[in-house]
């Protein structure tokens, strides 16, 4: 086959591929502007309206369609994601820092950590709830059992991100600090951490978004109170209305604003690093 022909053909293919990835989302977005409350979750659009968005925030007169139970669930999910983010990032930075030096059993420890992201959520969820229910005898809550399961899932991501960053990191600056008699802890705070901060930011973004969206582990391990994904899942079994589409659009916007914040912070830290480097060059 001629490669001159191949490239345009594949370009068209990739366009179709991206349409395949985004198609359902575009349809969902369009249908979220369906007329309410009579308009159903399908075409045609009877009349364009923002009814379902107002419905989501409780700004519409009461109708037969109950508002989504998202208020408290959102708060829980945000808290859980924040707790997970902090714990997973701290564990990830520590473990990756340890991996910069050779030590016995490094291979086993590496696989043990990576296992956390590879084992399907349905298994970790089941195991965690078995352990809590039948051995330890504690009640399952989103802030106890679900939290530890979330960290098991996100810690490997934080660890791998940090490992990639630290691999490219020049150790001689630290050695300089050590040889000047600065303690390892202080060296880490004053020298290493500022240099690896972009990596830490990425690890935090991973941990937060993965936990915020986590579903299978939470389903088993969270007990009575619902997190946001559980609340969404609850609506699956009943008849769906365009309010869940409007909600999908809102969560997507939320994810994108997280990405934007990450991008801004990243840009700022890179610029600061450049500034410092330039100052050093001048002096």
> According to CB under 8 A, which residues from 207 to 266 bind another protein?
209, 213, 215-216, 219-220, 229, 232-233, 236, 240, 244-245, 247-248, 251-252, 255-256, 258-259
- Smallest gap, in angstroms, from Cβ of residue 255 to another protein? 5
Helix axes 71-98, 228-237, angle to 10 degrees: 130
Backbone angles phi, psi at 141, to 5 degrees: -135, 160
- Smallest gap, in angstroms, from Cβ of residue 42 to another protein? 4
Site membership for another protein, residue 142 (CB under 8 A):
no
Site membership for another protein, residue 126 (CB under 8 A):
yes
Stretch of residues binding another protein (CB under 8 A), selected from 67-75, 117-125, 161-169, 190-198: 117-125
Smaller CB separation from another protein, 94 or 273: 94
Q: Identify the bridge partners of residue 141 per DSSP, sorted by sequence position.
A: 223
What burial class does residue 258 get, using C-beta atoms within 10 Å of its C-beta: 0-12 exposed, 13-18 middle, 19+ buried? Answer: middle
Site membership for another protein, residue 172 (CB under 8 A):
no
d(CA 27, CA 34): 11
Site for another protein in 180-199 (CB under 8 A): 184
Long-range contacts of 90-95 (CB under 8 A, 24+ apart): 91/151, 91/155, 91/158, 91/159, 92/155, 92/156, 92/157, 92/158, 92/159, 92/161, 92/162, 92/203, 92/207, 93/158, 93/162, 93/196, 93/200, 93/203, 95/155, 95/159, 95/162
Helix axes 121-130, 145-167, angle to 10 degrees: 130
Smaller CB separation from another protein, 63 or 252: 252
Stretch of residues binding another protein (CB under 8 A), selected from 57-65, 128-136, 189-197, 267-275: 128-136
Candidates 28, 45, 78, 266; binder of another protein (CB under 8 A) is 28
Question: What mask of x and - would describe binding to another protein in positions 46 to 85, judged by CB under 8 A?
Answer: ----------------------------------------
């Amino acid at each position: 086959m001629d490669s001159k022909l191949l490239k345009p053909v594949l370009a068209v293919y990739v366009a179709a591929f991206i349409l395949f990835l985004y198609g359902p989302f575009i349809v969902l977005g369009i249908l979220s502007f369906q007329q309410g409350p009579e308009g159903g979750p399908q075409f045609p659009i009877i009349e364009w309206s923002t009814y379902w968005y107002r419905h989501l925030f409780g700004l519409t007169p009461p109708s037969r369609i109950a508002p989504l139970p998202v208020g408290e669930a959102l708060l829980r999910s945000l808290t859980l994601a924040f707790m997970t983010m902090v714990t997973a990032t701290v564990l990830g930075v520590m473990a990756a820092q340890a991996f910069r030096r050779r030590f016995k059993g490094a291979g086993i420890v590496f696989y043990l950590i990576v296992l956390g992201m590879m084992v399907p959520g349905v298994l970790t969820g089941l195991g965690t709830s078995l352990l809590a229910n039948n051995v330890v005898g504690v009640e399952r809550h989103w802030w106890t059992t679900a939290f530890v399961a979330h960290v098991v899932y996100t810690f490997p991501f934080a660890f791998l991100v940090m490992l990639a960053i630290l691999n490219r990191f020049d150790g001689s600056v630290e050695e300089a600090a050590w040889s000047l008699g600065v303690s390892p802890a202080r060296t880490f705070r004053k020298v290493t951490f500022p240099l690896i901060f972009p990596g830490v930011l990425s690890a935090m973004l991973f941990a937060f978004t993965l936990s915020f969206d986590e579903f299978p582990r939470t389903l088993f391990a969270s007990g009575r109170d619902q997190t946001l994904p559980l609340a969404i899942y609850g609506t699956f079994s009943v008849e769906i209305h365009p309010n869940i589409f409007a909600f999908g659009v809102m969560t997507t916007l939320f994810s994108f604003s997280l990405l934007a914040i990450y991008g801004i912070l990243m840009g700022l830290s890179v610029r600061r690093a450049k500034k410092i480097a330039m100052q050093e060059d001048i002096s």
